[in-house]
Amino acid sequence: MDTAEIRRRFVAHFESAGHTPVPSASLLLDDPNLLFVNAGMVPFKPYFLGQETPPYDRAVSIQKCARTPDIEDVGKTTRHGTFFEMCGNFSFGDYFKEQAIELAWELITKAQSDGGFGFAESVLYPSVLDGDDEAVGLWRKVTGLPDERIIRLGPKENYWSMGVPGPGGPCSEILIDRGPAYGPDGDFSAEDRYLEFWNLVFMQDELSAVRSKEDFDISGSLPRKNIDTGMGLERVAFMTQGVENMYEIDVMFPVIERAMELTGRTYGADHVDDVRFRVVADHVRSSMMLIGDGVTPGNEARGYVLRRLLRRAVRSMRLLGYEDPALPELMPISRDKMGETYADLHTDWDRISRVAYAEEETFRKTLQAGTTMFDLAASKVKQSGGASIAGAEAFQLHDTFGFPIDLTLEMAAEAGLSVDEDGFRGLMAEQRERAKADARSKRGQHADTGAYRTVLDEHGPTEWLAYETLETESRPLALLREGVPVTVLGPGEVGEIILDRTPFYAESGGQAADAGIIEFDGGRLEVVDVQRPIKGLVVHQVRVVDGELATSSASSSLLHAQVDPEWRTGARQAHSGTHVVHAALRQVLGPTALQSGSYNRPGYLRLDFGWTTGLTPEQVRDIERVSNEALRADLPVGWQYMTLEQAKEWGAVALFGETYDNTKVRVVEIGGPWSRELCGGTHVDHSSQIGTVVVTGEASVGSGNRRIEAFTGVEGFAYLARERDVVGQLTSLLKIQPQDLVPRVGDLVDRLRAAEKEIERIRLQQLLSGGAELAASAVDVGGVRVVAHRVDGAGGGDVRTLALDVRGRLPGDQPAAVVVIGAADGKVSVVAALNDAAQSRGLSANDLVRTVGPFVGGKGGGKADVAQGGGTDTSRIDEALAAVLASVQGA
Ligand code: SER
C-alpha cells in the first residue's frame, strides 16, 4: 500500500466517524518551547489547554513533523527520521478512551480489501500505563485480547507529554510483533521486534514542569478530557510495503536509487554504506521540507539544524565516493515524491532549490578552508609530539568552519591522530546550554493561565476598542499580582488589572503594547504593559501611581482608561512603517525576501527577513528611497476582514508560524496591492502620516536571517539631526565644508598611517643602533663572551631582533652567549641566542631561558641556538641576569 493510500484511508476512516479534516500546519509554529512542530497535536495545543475554543469537537490531520535530537541515529535503526508525518485523530472534550481504542483498532485490523490496514490481531500488542486499569479493561472489551497480550509499562513509555510544560496524559501504544528475526520473544524493549506505530494519548493533565520522561509535575487537570493520537505514517508504510525500514518506502527509496547510480555503490551490500544511503534519503527530504516552510541555513537554532542536515547529506555522498554537487541530483527526486502531497514544493521550487544548492556550495568551500585549518592543527599536534587533537580545536573547526565532528574524527584517523571527543562534547554542551538559556530568557516561561481562564469564564471576552477609541469608561473585573488574584493594589505596587472594555492595544504581531493611564476615584495607575495571555482576554500590567485600588471599592465605580495619544500616534507610524519597509524590501530584493519577525514601538522598527547574504549599501539606500517614495505618494491605508482563502488570493503576505482559525482574518493594505499583510495592528490612515523612514542599519542576526532597522516620524528626524550635529562638529573642528569631510578624513588617516610606519622604522633603528655598543660591552665569563642585558620598553619581537643582532656582531670563532630581557607593560620577554662555538662548549639557549624563568614568574624554551620565554614579574630582572652569568660560569 503506498503512502498516499495510507493517508487516504486514515482520513476517510476518521472523517466518516465525524472528524473534521484539518490540513497540516507549517513545521514552524510560534511555540517558544519548540524548535519545530514535533507532533500532530502541536497546532491544537491551545484547544487542549482551554486557551481557545476549538471550532470542532473532533479533528483528523496528517501533520508534518521534525524531530532532530536523534540525528545521529538516522539510518542506524529502522525508525529514526528527522522528518516524518504523523496521522492523528483528536477529540476536544468529546470522546475519550473507549472510542479512541475502538476507532484505532478497527482501522488497523480491518482487511485491506475493506479499506483497513489489514494487520493480523495475533501480532498486535497494546500497552498501557501501569495502574491504568480502566484502559486494560477497555482494551480487553474492545479487542477481546487476553490479559497477557496487554502490556503494562511505566511512565517512561506510557505517559506522554510534550517534554515541556503543557498538556499531557497517560497513553496506550500499539506495538506490532515483527517476528523472532528482530529480537527475543517477549522483550518489549527490543524496539525493532515490537515496533510501536500508534500512540493514543488520553490527554487529561496540565504539566507545569517536565524534567524527564518519568519526572514531571502535574499542576492540575485540563478543563476537559481529550484524545490525541499519533500514528507514524512511515512506520505503517514500511510494514504494509514489505520493506525493512522507513528509508525504503515509496516516497524515500527513489532518492537512494539515484544515489546508487551516482556513486556506483549498491545499497544492501555493506552496513556502513547502507547507513550513509539512508542518511542521504532522510536528510535530503527533511531539509527540503524545512526550507519549504521558510527555514534558511544558519548557525543557530532552526537554521543550524537545517545546515547540519544539508551538510550531513552532502558529506554522506562524499563518503560514498561522490564528490560533485549532489543536491541538484537528489533533491528534485524527493520533490517529485513529496510534491504529490505538498504542492508548494513545486510552486516554490526556485527558492527551495536555490537555498539548498547555495548551502552545498558554501559547504564545499568550507571543506577547502577547513581542511587547511585541520592540517595546521594536525601538524601542530605532531610537532609537539602529541597524538590527539584538542577538543577546543575540534570545536573551533565545527563552530567556525561547520566541520561536523565525524569529519574531524575521520580526517584525524587518516592522519594517525585521535581527537579529544570528550573535550569537544563538553564545549558543545556548553554552547547548547548558552543557546537554551538565551532562548529561555528571550521567550519567558510558560505561564499558569488558570486565574485568567476563571475571569474569562465568568465575564466573557474583553470588549476590545483599540481600533475605535483612545479612551473609555471601564469596569474592573479582577486585580492580580503575579497571576494570583488579590483584593487590593497599594501605592507603588505593580500588578495586573482586567477591565470589561479597554482601548489599550495588547502587544502582538510585533507591535509593542500601548502606554497610558487608568484613573479611578482617588488614584491613578500607569499602564506599563498590556498582554493577551489567553485568547479574548486583555490584561493590563500597571503600577499604582496614586491612591489605592481595592476590588470592593472599585467594582462599584467606573475607571477611566486612557491611551497616551502621543504614544499611539508613534505606534501607528512605526507599524505602518514596518509594512512599508517590508514592501520596499520585497520590491528591491524580490518576492523571496520574506519577513521572519518584526518589532515596532513608537519611532522605531526592526524587521527580520530570511536572506543569506549581506545587503549592499545601494540596496539599503534603495529600500529607504522606495519607502519614502511610498510616503510621499500619500497612499491610502485601509483594512478589511476576509477569509484566509480570499486573503491568499489577494496575495496578502501571511507570516510563518501564525495560526489562523476559520474565522475571518484582517488584511491591512497600503496603496492597494502594493502592500497587503495579515495584521491586527494599529495603523495610520495615509502613508504620508508616517512622516519619514530613516534606515539606520542592516546586519545578520544568525540563521540565515538579516535585520533591517529604521526610525519613523519625529524619531527619524531626530536621528538625522544627531547625524547633522556630528557632521557640524567635525567640519568646525577641521574648518572645512561638509563636502570636503570624507577626502580630508581619508587624507588624515593616510598620513597617520605613514607617520606610524615612520615611527616604527626609527624605533627599530634606535634599538639596533645600541647593538654595536652592546656587543662591545660583552664580558668574558670562563672563556665565553657574554652579553646579559636589560632593555626597558621592549616587547618580545624587539628583544629577539636585538639579541640576534648582537650575536651577529660578536666574533664567530669564540663562544658567545647573548641574553636580552625586555620589560614592557608589566610583561617580561627573554631571548637567549648562542653562536655555534658556545653550543659546542655544551651551552644551550634553552637552558639559559629556563634559568631566567623562576625570577620573572614565567617559562619558555626553544632550541640550543635560540630560545625565547616570557614572564609577568618585572621586579627581579637584574637578579635573573646575574643568574645567567653564574650559569655560564658554572657550565
Ligand atoms: N502526541 C502523541 C505523540 O506524539 C500522539 O500524537 O506520540
Give residue 436's pLDDT.
58
Find out whether 237 and 11 touch, Cβ atoms under 8 Å: no
Give residue 707's pLDDT.
93
| Pocket lining: 203 vs ligand 1, CB cutoff 6 Å | no
DSSP secondary structure letters along 15-66: HTTTPEEEPPPPS----TT-SS--STTGGGHHHHHTSS--S-SEEEEEEEEE
Distance 226 CA to ligand 1 centre (A): 13
Distance 164 CA to ligand 1 centre (A): 14
Give residue 861's pLDDT.
80
Amino acid at residue number 515:
A
Same CATH fold, 450-563 and 3-242? Answer: no
Give residue 702's pLDDT.
65
The pLDDT tens digits for 302-338 are 888 898 899 999 989 988 999 899 999 999 999 999 9
Domain 3-242 classification at class level: alpha beta
Give yes or no for residue 736 having a pLDDT over 90.
Answer: yes
- For residue 663, count CB atoms less than 10 angstroms from its CB and return exposed for 0-12, middle for 13-18, buried for 19 or more: exposed
Ligand 1, residues 65, 85, 222, 228: which to mutate, most atoms within 8 A of Cβ?
228
Atom of ligand 1 nearest to the CA of 86: 6
% of the chain exceeding 70 in pLDDT: 96
Give yes or no for residue 375 having a pLDDT over 70.
Answer: yes
Distances (CA, A) of 889 to 247, 568, 886: 77, 86, 5
Atom of ligand 1 nearest to the CA of 39: 4
Which of 99-103, 610-614, 626-630, 638-642 is predicted with the least confidence, judged by mean pLDDT?
610-614
Distance 215 CA to ligand 1 centre (A): 18
What number is the average pLDDT over the span 33-48?
90
| Pocket lining: 40 vs ligand 1, CB cutoff 6 Å | yes
Give residue 52's pLDDT.
86
| Pocket lining: 514 vs ligand 1, CB cutoff 6 Å | no
Which of 63-72, 619-628, 685-694 is predicted with the least confidence, judged by mean pLDDT?
63-72
What number is the average pLDDT over the span 454-466?
91
Distance 609 CA to ligand 1 centre (A): 32
The pLDDT tens digits for 804-838 are 999 999 998 899 999 999 998 888 999 999 999 99
Ligand 1, residues 37, 86, 233: which to mutate, most atoms within 8 A of Cβ?
86
Atom of ligand 1 nearest to the CA of 162: 1
Query: In this structure, which residue's CA is closest to atom 3 in ligand 1?
Result: 230
Distance 723 CA to ligand 1 centre (A): 56
Distance 171 CA to ligand 1 centre (A): 9
| Pocket lining: 201 vs ligand 1, CB cutoff 6 Å | yes
Give residue 51's pLDDT.
85
The pLDDT tens digits for 630-667 are 999 999 999 999 887 788 788 877 653 444 455 678 99
Distance 694 CA to ligand 1 centre (A): 48
Distance 24 CA to ligand 1 centre (A): 15
DSSP state for residue 749 in the 8-state scheme:
H
Give yes or no for residue 504 having a pLDDT over 80.
Answer: yes
Find out whether 16 and 116 touch, Cβ atoms under 8 Å: no
Amino acid at residue number 313:
A
What number is the average pLDDT over the span 398-406?
74
Q: Alpha helix (H) ranges present in 740-868?
A: 741-776, 796-809, 836-840, 845-856
Atom of ligand 1 nearest to the CA of 38: 4
Distances (CA, A) of 275 to 74, 76, 79, 171, 416: 8, 6, 12, 32, 25
Give residue 446's pLDDT.
38
Give residue 444's pLDDT.
37
Find out whether 878 and 790 touch, Cβ atoms under 8 Å: yes
Distance 651 CA to ligand 1 centre (A): 35
Ligand 1, residues 34, 156, 199: which to mutate, most atoms within 8 A of Cβ?
199
Instruction: Give CA angle at 109 (107, 112), nearest 5°.
Output: 80
Query: In this structure, which residue's CA is closest to atom 6 in ligand 1?
Result: 230
- Looking at domain 770-890, its CATH architecture is Roll (3.10)
Ligand 1, residues 64, 198, 213, 229: which to mutate, most atoms within 8 A of Cβ?
229
Element housing 87 (H / E): strand 83-92
Residue predicted with more confidence, 87 or 550: 87
DSSP state for residue 536 in the 8-state scheme:
T
| Pocket lining: 38 vs ligand 1, CB cutoff 6 Å | no
What number is the average pLDDT over the span 260-282?
94
The pLDDT tens digits for 231-248 are 999 999 999 999 999 999
Element housing 345 (H / E): helix 344-347
What number is the average pLDDT over the span 530-541?
90
Distance 63 CA to ligand 1 centre (A): 11
Give yes or no for residue 425 having a pLDDT over 50.
Answer: yes
Amino acid at residue number 37:
V
Give residue 658's pLDDT.
46
Name the band, by pLDDT with cuts 50, 70 and 90, for residue 439.
Answer: very low
Question: For residue 869, what are the β-bridge partners?
Answer: 830, 860
Distance 84 CA to ligand 1 centre (A): 12
What number is the average pLDDT over the span 393-418?
80
Give residue 290's pLDDT.
96
CATH code of the region 568-718:
3.30.980.10
Closest CA to 516 of 538, 536, 537: 538
| Pocket lining: 166 vs ligand 1, CB cutoff 6 Å | no
Find out whether 52 and 23 touch, Cβ atoms under 8 Å: no
For the chain, the domains span 3-242, 253-371, 450-563, 568-718, 770-890
What number is the average pLDDT over the span 671-683?
93
Name the pairing type of β-strands 388-389 and 523-534.
unpaired
Find out whether 809 and 772 touch, Cβ atoms under 8 Å: yes
Find out whether 516 and 561 touch, Cβ atoms under 8 Å: yes
Phi and psi for 162 in degrees, rounded to 5?
A: -80, 0
The pLDDT tens digits for 195-230 are 999 999 999 999 988 888 889 999 899 989 999 999
Give yes or no for residue 345 having a pLDDT over 80.
Answer: yes
Give residue 654's pLDDT.
63
Distance 354 CA to ligand 1 centre (A): 34
| Pocket lining: 39 vs ligand 1, CB cutoff 6 Å | yes
What number is the average pLDDT over the span 553-566?
81
Give yes or no for residue 25 having a pLDDT over 60.
Answer: yes
Distance 234 CA to ligand 1 centre (A): 15
| Pocket lining: 88 vs ligand 1, CB cutoff 6 Å | yes
Average pLDDT of the chain to the nearest whole number: 89
Name the pairing type of β-strands 484-486 and 516-520.
unpaired
Name the band, by pLDDT with cuts 50, 70 and 90, for residue 141.
Answer: very high
DSSP secondary structure letters along 347-388: HTHHHHHHHHHHHHHHHHHHHHHHHHHHHHHHHHHHHTT--E
DSSP secondary structure letters along 123-177: GEEEEEETT-HHHHHHHHHHH---GGGSEEE-HHHHEEE-SSSEEEEEEEEEEEE
What number is the average pLDDT over the span 94-109?
97
| Pocket lining: 199 vs ligand 1, CB cutoff 6 Å | yes
pTM of the predicted structure, to 2 decimals = 0.55
Sheet strand arrangement including 494-499? 471-474, 559-563, 516-520, 523-534, 537-546, 494-499, 476-481, 484-486
Name the band, by pLDDT with cuts 50, 70 and 90, for residue 298.
Answer: confident
| Pocket lining: 229 vs ligand 1, CB cutoff 6 Å | yes
Give yes or no for residue 385 having a pLDDT over 70.
Answer: yes
Give yes or no for residue 443 having a pLDDT over 60.
Answer: no
Give residue 663's pLDDT.
65
Distance 205 CA to ligand 1 centre (A): 15
Ligand 1, residues 41, 42, 227: which to mutate, most atoms within 8 A of Cβ?
41
| Pocket lining: 509 vs ligand 1, CB cutoff 6 Å | no
Distance 155 CA to ligand 1 centre (A): 14
Give residue 274's pLDDT.
95
Give residue 662's pLDDT.
56
Domain 450-563 has CATH 3.30.300.30: no
Which of 26-40, 518-532, 664-678 is predicted with the least confidence, judged by mean pLDDT?
26-40
Distance 90 CA to ligand 1 centre (A): 11
Atom of ligand 1 nearest to the CA of 88: 6
Distance 387 CA to ligand 1 centre (A): 47
Which of 437-441, 674-678, 785-789, 887-891 is predicted with the least confidence, judged by mean pLDDT?
437-441
